[in-house]
């Protein structure tokens, strides 16, 4: 078995009284894209910073490309790229000069740095804007240049910390295209995100992080299958909501959630459970609920996340 590109065991990191990572375990096979998913404050950035050797862990171990992030930090640094939410490129020079400078800094030599910059600009559709000052770039362009800047050294492992947060849909799409192209070329990518659709589109596997630990992981398909199907019932009168909640609680494994403003109740069926529409409508009828609309649909990762973080018995903060 070849060693995983990223192997994290029991990683802990606190800032004063705040425990940002409380025993993080994560394995990312080489050549795959892992989506580290979690709400604000879950510990995503701290995890990336520890893996990128920018912060020291308090306990546990982490290896990147086989190198220990504490004892072999220099080797780790040489084999990774890092791009984040806040673009780290120089504003007062052009995009092309940014990439050339980075290449020179990493010892590519003037000719090497020049051709590497040209290649990357071409490959990631930045050639047209390459000779403009970065100061004049839109937020989306800057973020894309920042991503490309992390690729100058052709790192086998790339960390992307919320690469599309705050971007418009089109810029997000462009970043996604770039990540996909890298993944196809064999780069291992660890991507943090608050957007479940982003993880769904890009990630081979997803780890859901909450309060500094992984509370669930698997392929997006497996995570969705684990909560079964999604049932949405809209009742004719708001007064029938409570009854509808009771009917659904009996039928499904999930905890029904009512939205009074929409007169709607939603629930997930639970793993392996199928609920037939006729049976559902019959049970609602029998309870005196007239349903205005009943829908069964496959869950999205958003549903998975809500089901996970609303699950009873979940560790309190």
Residue 240 binding Mg ion, by CB under 5 A: no
Give least dist CB 163 to ligand ADP, A: 13
Read off φ and ψ for residue 156, nearest 5 degrees.
-75, -20
Which residues lie near ligand ADP (CB under 6 A)? 15, 18, 20, 38, 40-46
213 binds, among Mg ion, ligand ADP, none (CB under 5 to 8 A by kind): none
Single out the segment in contact with Mg ion by CB under 5 A; choices: 20-28, 36-44, 115-123, 258-266: 36-44
Residue 45 binding Mg ion, by CB under 5 A: yes
For Mg ion, give the closer residue by CB, 50 or 247.
50
Give least dist CB 224 to ligand ADP, A: 23
The answer to whether the CB of 217 falls within 8 A of the CB of 53 is no
For ligand ADP, give the closer residue by CB, 25 or 232.
25
Helix (H) or strand (E) holding 262: none
Read off φ and ψ for residue 246, nearest 5 degrees.
-65, -45
Residue 164 binding Mg ion, by CB under 5 A: no
Q: What gap in Å lies between CA 8 and CA 64, rounded to an integer? A: 9
- Sheet of 291-297: strand order equals 257-259, 264-268, 230-235, 291-297
For Mg ion, give the closer residue by CB, 39 or 288.
39
Give least dist CB 191 to ligand ADP, A: 12
For Mg ion, give the closer residue by CB, 194 or 234.
194
For ligand ADP, give the closer residue by CB, 40 or 274.
40
Residue 65 binding Mg ion, by CB under 5 A: no
Give least dist CB 45 to ligand ADP, A: 3
Question: What crossing angle do the helices spanning 241-251 and 277-286 adopt, rounded to 10°?
Answer: 130
CB under 8 Å to 38, separation ≥6 — which residues? Answer: 44, 192, 194, 208, 209, 210
Give least dist CB 168 to ligand ADP, A: 22
Residue 46 binding Mg ion, by CB under 5 A: no
Could you tell me which of 261, 262, 259, 266 has the C-alpha nearest to residue 229? 266
Give least dist CB 197 to ligand ADP, A: 18
The DSSP call for residue 4 is P
* Cα Dmax for the chain: 79
The DSSP call for residue 91 is S
Could you tell me which of 38, 21, 33 has the C-alpha nearest to residue 208? 38
156: its two tokens: 């086998």
CB under 8 Å to 105, separation ≥6 — which residues? Answer: none
141 binds, among Mg ion, ligand ADP, none (CB under 5 to 8 A by kind): none
Give least dist CB 194 to ligand ADP, A: 8
Give least dist CB 211 to ligand ADP, A: 9
For ligand ADP, give the closer residue by CB, 187 or 192.
192
For ligand ADP, give the closer residue by CB, 12 or 246.
12
For ligand ADP, give the closer residue by CB, 21 or 307.
21
41 binds, among Mg ion, ligand ADP, none (CB under 5 to 8 A by kind): ligand ADP
Tell me, letter by letter, the H, E, C secondary structure of 132-165.
CEHHHCCHHHHHHHHHHHCCCCCCCEEEEECCCC
Q: By the criterion CB under 5 A, which residues form the site for Mg ion? A: 44-45
């Amino acid at each position: 078995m070849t060693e995983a590109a990223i192997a994290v065991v029991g990683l802990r990191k606190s800032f004063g009284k705040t425990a940002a990572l409380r025993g993080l375990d994560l394995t990312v096979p080489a050549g795959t894209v892992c989506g580290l998913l979690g709400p604000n404050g879950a510990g995503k950035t701290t995890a990336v910073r520890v893996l990128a050797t920018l912060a020291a862990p308090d306990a546990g171990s982490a290896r990147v490309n086989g190198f220990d992030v504490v004892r072999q930090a220099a080797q780790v640094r040489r084999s990774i790229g890092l791009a984040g939410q806040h673009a780290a490129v120089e504003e007062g020079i052009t995009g092309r000069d940014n990439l050339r400078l980075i290449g020179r800094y990493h010892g590519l030599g003037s000719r090497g740095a020049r051709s590497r910059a040209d290649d990357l600009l071409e490959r990631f559709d930045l050639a047209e804007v390459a000779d403009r000052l970065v100061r004049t770039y839109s937020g989306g362009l800057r973020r894309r240049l920042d991503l490309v800047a992390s690729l100058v050294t052709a790192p086998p492992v790339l960390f992307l910390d919320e690469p599309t947060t705050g971007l418009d849909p089109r810029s997000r799409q462009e970043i996604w295209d770039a990540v996909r192209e890298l993944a196809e070329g064999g780069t291992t990518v660890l991507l943090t995100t608050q957007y479940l659709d982003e993880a769904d589109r890009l990630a081979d596997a997803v780890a859901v992080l909450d309060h500094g630990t992984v509370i669930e992981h698997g392929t997006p398909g497996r995570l969705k299958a684990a909560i079964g199907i999604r049932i949405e019932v809209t009742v004719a009168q708001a007064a029938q909501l409570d009854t509808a909640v009771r009917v659904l609680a009996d039928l499904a494994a999930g905890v029904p959630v009512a939205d009074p403003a929409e007169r709607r109740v939603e629930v997930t069926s639970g793993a392996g459970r199928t609920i037939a529409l006729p049976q559902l409508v019959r049970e609602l009828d029998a309870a005196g609920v007239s349903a205005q609309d009943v829908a069964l649909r496959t869950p999205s990762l958003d549903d998975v996340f809500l089901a996970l973080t609303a699950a009873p018995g979940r560790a309190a903060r």
